[in-house]
Amino acid sequence: AQSVSQHNHHVILSEAASLELGCNYSYGGTVNLFWYVQYPGQHLQLLLKYFSGDPLVKGIKGFEAEFIKSKFSFNLRKPSVQWSDTAEYFCAVNANDKIIFGKGTRLHILP
Amino acid sequence: SAVISQKPSRDICQRGTSLTIQCQVDSQVTMMFWYRQQPGQSLTLIATANQGSEATYESGFVIDKFPISRPNLTFSTLTVSNMSPEDSSIYLCSVDRVATEAFFGQGTRLTVV
């Protein structure tokens, strides 16, 4: 069965630091990949998505992610984080017509 | 995009009772999904609800505990039956246009006492 692994459960960074959150998935077929964000007290919203084409995907708020097929990875990056990026981040894969989520990474940015 | 409305937004229920959560979408969709997000956990897919057929449940979830209705292409309900404190969670309705993205309702925060 398909699964999604997020390596970091809790990340603490200072403002302006660079961010990389790891995500690996297991599925042998064609996948669509997503990163979702959940700000405190808010519902899930889409940061970015990959379906095909350029493996480097740019999303909202300066986030980007790179799909590396050989590594089954879809890591999320941001060169310089802000305090407002404090949130929980979920990697997800759409395979077999259903979306499976990773366990999430709680990101805390220190002002 | 899709706008999803869930009711109730939150509830506190006695153990042993049942709660039905409603999900309304502003457009017709083939598949609707129900997720559970337990405190500090990720989203776990409970079941997929297709109109006109029985819901498909994921491992660990059964119809007797989480009966689902899907009477038309814009509406679904999830019932949490015979509740216990372990059922305290956020329940989320989602629609997923294949090859686009998933849209979520605001969730139903359930506390069982």
Please name which of A6, A8, A25, A34 lies closest in space to residue A107, comparing C-alpha atoms: A8
Tens digit of pLDDT for each residue in B84-99?
999 999 999 998 755 5
Question: At B105, is the pLDDT very low, low, confident or very high (cuts 50, 70, 90)?
Answer: confident
User: Lowest mean pLDDT: which of B21-30, B60-69, B95-104?
Assistant: B95-104
pLDDT at residue A3, as a whole number: 86
Residue ranges of alpha helices (H) inside chain A are none
pLDDT at residue B63, as a whole number: 96
pLDDT of A101 above 60: yes
pLDDT at residue B30, as a whole number: 84
pLDDT of B101 above 90: no
pLDDT of A17 above 80: yes
Between B77 and B2, residue with greater pLDDT: B77
Listed by number, the residues of chain B in 51-90 with a beta carbon closer than 8 Å to a beta carbon of chain A are none
DSSP H or E run through B60: none
Distance from CA of B55 to the nearest CA of A (A): 13
Tens digit of pLDDT for each residue in B7-46?
999 999 999 999 999 999 998 888 899 999 887 777 899 9
pLDDT above 70: percentage of residues in chain A: 99
Say which of A51, A94, A102 has its CB closest to residue B42: A102
**Cross-strand partners of B31:** B50
Q: Does B95 touch chain A (CB under 8 A)?
A: no
What does residue B107 show for φ and ψ, rounded to 5 degrees? 90, 160
pLDDT of B111 above 70: yes
CA torsion B3-A96-B41-B102 (nearest 10°) is: -20
Inter-chain touch B92–A44, beta carbons under 8 Å:
yes
Nearest residue of chain B to residue A5 (CA atoms): B42
Q: How many beta-carbon pairs below 8 A join chains A and B?
A: 46
Distance from CA of B3 to the nearest CA of A (A): 12
Q: Cα separations (Å) of A91 from A6, A34, A100, B60, B99?
A: 7, 6, 9, 22, 16
Question: At A51, is the pLDDT very low, low, confident or very high (cuts 50, 70, 90)?
Answer: confident
pLDDT at residue B61, as a whole number: 96
What does residue A83 show for φ and ψ, rounded to 5 degrees? -55, -35
Ramachandran assignment for B9, one of left (phi > 0), alpha (psi -120 to 50 degrees), beta (any other): alpha
pLDDT above 90: percentage of residues in chain A: 65
Question: At B100, is the pLDDT very low, low, confident or very high (cuts 50, 70, 90)?
Answer: low
Q: Does B6 touch chain A (CB under 8 A)?
A: no
pLDDT at residue A105, as a whole number: 94
* Residue A97 CB contacts under 8 Å (≥ 6 apart), including other chains: B31, B48, B96, B98
